[in-house]
Amino acid sequence: MKKILIVFGTRPEAIKMVPLIKEFSKYPTLFDVKVCVTAQHRQMLDSVLEIFDIKPDYDLNIMLPDQGLTDVTAKILTQVGFVLQDYNPDILLVHGDTTTSMASALAAFYQKIKIGHVEAGLRTYNLHSPWPEEMNRQFTDKISDLYFAPTQNAKENLINEGVDNRKIIVTGNTVIDTLFLGQKIIEERKLKPSILELIKDSGFDMNEHHFIKGRPYILVTGHRRENFGEGFLNICNGLKKIALLYPMIDIVYPVHLNPNVQKPVYDALQGCSNICLLPPLDYLPFLFLMENSYLILTDSGGIQEEAPSLGKPVLVMRNTTERPEALGFGTVILVGTESQKIVDCVSSLISKKEEYLKMQKATNPYGDGTASRQIMNYLLNL
């Protein structure tokens, strides 16, 4: 029996590690798996754990108001170190590019415990964009022992950096597994009416006017640190212009809890008649909003991977992306944070149906929903 510790701390990590936990749970005689959460995102993390019925074995609850990255890193490094000493796993699994992943991997490295990096090999090669995620990901890859790359491009990045080809497996991205799992939960539990009510309670009137009569809406998300300040002001100006240009199209924006996001967004957009500002939504309601949107504007990495499986064009409000495959396959367009470019690209997808259909029908390069099974099989045969 292999002892595996899975550590994550944020909502995006949880979403992408859930299907792996579920896959391991099918084989209790082969894997002894424990889950540790740092709660780097407390509230948003807990909602994902509840939806997918994940009960952590260790909950470090490290966050305090106004903590800096230095404090967060030090706490995770120390407390995950204690967990590793207590459980002594054969392998630690971390995900992606968060401070939790980087510091947990370092704690395992210090104790000479093998590290498996899920979603390894993504790169912008600009340490300041995304910040500090690019550094976190590169650092985690540097000290890992096993690499679960979502794409061939990510694998090639690792090989070019000197990683042994035999330690890398291309799996697709686990977020597609979660997407299909979420759709299944909505269908099997007949959750659509309750999801509609939950979204309505959040402030968006999900009545027949939108979904039966076909009034379209653009879904927006934004949270990246590198966009704080001028970037978010530009994004908000662009959204306001779009709202004025297209009064028969709604803009639905669940606003991240970070004050650096909340203040500029609410200051600029509150009161616009066809812009609906919501609090952050749980995963299943947000998945429902993605499925029913016309297109998506985001600076999120995960949405760049999820939305193409739903046939939704994505405009990425960042100057760089560590997911160039989506650009190559035509499922996303990099628009940055310049207001007029955001407006122009949205206008093009509204007015030029052929451009919209081309993006809508493009192949998703991030897999077919079997990534977790591939990772499980690889570890089983290791």
Does residue 252 sit in the same domain as residue 147?
no
| 142 and 234 both lie in a single domain | no
DSSP annotation of 70 reads H
40 assigned to some structural domain: yes
* CATH code at position 273: 3.40.50.2000
Q: Are residues 347 and 204 in the same domain?
A: yes
Residue 96 maps to a domain: yes
Q: Are residues 240 and 162 in the same domain?
A: no
Question: How are strands ordered across the β-sheet holding 275-278?
Answer: 275-278, 250-254, 217-220, 295-298, 314-316, 332-334
The total number of residues shown for the chain amounts to 382
Annotation says 215 is catalytic: no
276 & 137 share domain: no
Kindly name the residue from 119, 177, 305, 322 that is annotated as catalytic: 119
Identify whether residues 157 and 280 lie together within a single domain: no
Does 298 map to a domain? yes
The answer on 169 and 251 residing in a single domain is: no
Identified catalytic residue from 42, 210, 215, 225: 225
Same domain, 315 and 258: yes
- Model pLDDT, residue 207: 58
- Of 11, 256, 318, 323, which one is the catalytic site residue? 256
Q: Which of 184, 218, 180 is nearest to 306 (CA)?
A: 180
Query: Which regions of the chain are under pLDDT 70?
Result: 205-214
- 152 with 200, same domain: the answer is no
183 in a domain, yes or no? no
- The one catalytic residue in 13, 23, 133, 141 is 133
Instruction: Determine whether 225 is an active site residue.
Output: yes
For residue 20, the enclosing domain spans 2-173+368-380
Q: Note the pLDDT tens digit of each residue in 9-59.
A: 999 999 999 999 999 999 999 999 999 999 987 878 999 999 999 999 999
**185 domain residue, yes or no:** no
Phi, psi of 250 (to 5 degrees): -85, 155
Catalytic residue among 97, 226, 250, 325: 97
Catalytic annotation present for 256: yes
334-358 pLDDT tens trace: 999 999 999 999 999 999 999 999 9
Amino acid at 378: Y
Judgement on whether residues 253 and 129 belong to the same structural domain of the protein: no
Number of domains forming the structure of the chain: 2
CB-based contacts of 205, cutoff 8 Å, min separation 6: none
In a domain, 180, yes or no: no
Whether 211 is covered by a domain: the verdict is yes
**Does one domain contain both 78 and 201?**
no
3-class state of residue 170 by DSSP: strand
Q: Of 11, 41, 117, 223, which residue is the catalytic one?
A: 223
178, part of any domain: no
Whether residues 135 and 30 fall in one domain:
yes
> Residue 204 has what pLDDT?
73
- Residue 133 annotated as catalytic: yes
Exposed / middle / buried, residue 88 (Cβ in 10 Å: 0-12, 13-18, 19+): exposed
